[in-house]
Chain A
Amino acid sequence: EAGVTQSPTHLIKTRGQQATLRCSPISGHTSVYWYQQALGLGLQFLLWYDEGEERNRGNFPPRFSGRQFPNYSSELNVNALELEDSALYLCASSLRWWGRYSNQPQHFGDGTRLSIL
């Protein structure tokens, strides 16, 4: 079974540009999550999508946005990039989050390392 795949592996941008990160979940998983792992800040929850809808977002500004496609893959867009956006962005997927699936673990991809120059 293929795991969560993310692209690109590395992305280098300059301040003010826009970045698009992509994620394909494990087959059969409908929920996709995005996390940011910045140096010194730990793993922070960014966004959660399920069945094409944004279900929850973390404490991040609106320039962090995304979407989920009918095939459950997802995109994370970061506009007006700032130096502090430099981080490893991890995507995870899981089976549906409610009811009997509440305890299902989230499975993570290898991440996209975003560097802002």
Chain B
Amino acid sequence: AQKVTQAQTEISVVEKEDVTLDCVYETRDTTYYLFWYKQPPSGELVFLIRRNSFDEQNEISGRYSWNFQKSTSSFNFTITASQVVDSAVYFCALKETSGSRLTFGEGTQLTVNP
């Protein structure tokens, strides 16, 4: 069965610091998809980034970047020059091709202090 683990329960940084959120996953599928979502205090889950298991390149999108390491089953997410508005709970999620449900990690509460 699939599983997603986010070992960091809470992270606190000062504005403008870079911060990396860790995610480790387990799956038996050879093709799968990984996502990061942000949940601000208002409650809605906001889609941030997506990664296909067959894509080898790591990418940067604005202040967001991600490091996908298939060999270690990790999908880490970095926010560069953090801002107070980045404060939220961040969820890593896995979707296998054999189904459509998302399996979420436990979430990491990020607090960015001014």
A residues near B, CB below 8 A?
A: 31, 33, 35, 42-43, 45, 48, 50, 55-56, 58, 88, 90, 92, 94, 97, 102-103, 105-111, 113
Total A-B residue pairs with C-beta atoms closer than 8 Å? 57
Q: How far is the CA of A97 from the CA of B103 in the complex (A)?
A: 15
Number of interface residues of B (CB under 8 A): 23
Q: How far is the CA of A110 from the CA of B92 in the complex (A)?
A: 18
B residues near A, CB below 8 A?
A: 33, 35, 37, 42-47, 50, 52, 91, 95, 97, 99-107
B59 CB to nearest chain A CB (Å): 14
The answer to whether B43 touches A106, judged by C-beta atoms less than 8 angstroms apart, is no
A108-B44, A110-B43, A111-B43 known; A102-B97 Cβ under 8 A: yes
Cβ-neighbour of A33 out of B44, B46, B100 (below 8 A): B100
Cβ-neighbour of A42 out of B35, B100, B104 (below 8 A): B104
The answer to whether B43 touches A45, judged by C-beta atoms less than 8 angstroms apart, is no
B26 CB to nearest chain A CB (Å): 16
B44 CB to nearest chain A CB (Å): 4
Residues of chain B contacted by A110 (CB below 8 angstroms): 42-44
Residues of chain A contacted by B106 (CB below 8 angstroms): 42
Cβ-neighbour of A43 out of B47, B50, B91 (below 8 A): B91
Q: How far is the CA of A88 from the CA of B45 in the complex (A)?
A: 12
Q: How far is the CA of A108 from the CA of B40 in the complex (A)?
A: 13
The answer to whether B104 touches A56, judged by C-beta atoms less than 8 angstroms apart, is no
